[in-house]
């Protein structure tokens, strides 16, 4: 990890493992993973036009950009059981230059540590 990214991540509070376990369970359920103890982030995959593109068009998939040397998963927990949450995210978000995000979200590093950030 480069120095700038390392300094940024060290400035973010890390969740205690007992609290992170709850989010790991949610991620395991969302991604239908058998083992919830390993980092579920991006794994390098090459797509061949004849073989890979039809899979993308036909099936649901998750996309994550991976810059060399840095691998994080952005996790934004949203409680869809709250009334109108799916329809009115603005009540639960902050806005920055036109981008609306829930107030709390997490950057998850390769060691599967959760770093809390707000904004």
What does the pLDDT look like over 13-53, one tens digit per residue?
A: 999 988 899 888 888 888 888 877 777 766 666 666 666 66
Element (H, E) at 115: strand 114-118
Q: What is the pLDDT of residue 2?
A: 78
CA atoms within 13 A on the CB side of 47: 11
pTM over 0.95: no
Q: Is the pLDDT of residue 87 over 60?
A: no
Residue 105 β-bridge partners: 117
Return the closest-CA partner of residue 112 out of 34, 15, 43, 33: 15
* Mean pLDDT estimate for the chain: 73
Helix (H) or strand (E) run with residue 95 in it: strand 93-96
């Amino acid at each position: 990890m480069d120095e700038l990214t390392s300094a940024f991540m060290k400035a973010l509070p890390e969740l205690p493992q007992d609290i992170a376990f709850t989010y790991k369970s949610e991620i395991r359920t969302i991604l239908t993973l058998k083992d919830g103890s390993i980092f579920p982030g991006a794994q390098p995959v090459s797509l061949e036009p004849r073989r890979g593109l039809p899979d993308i068009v036909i099936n649901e998939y998750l996309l994550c950009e991976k810059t060399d040397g840095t691998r994080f998963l952005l996790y934004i927990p949203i409680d869809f059981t709250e009334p109108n949450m799916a329809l009115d995210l603005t009540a639960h978000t902050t806005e920055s230059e036109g981008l609306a995000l829930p107030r709390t979200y997490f950057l998850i590093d390769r060691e599967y540590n959760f770093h809390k950030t707000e904004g």
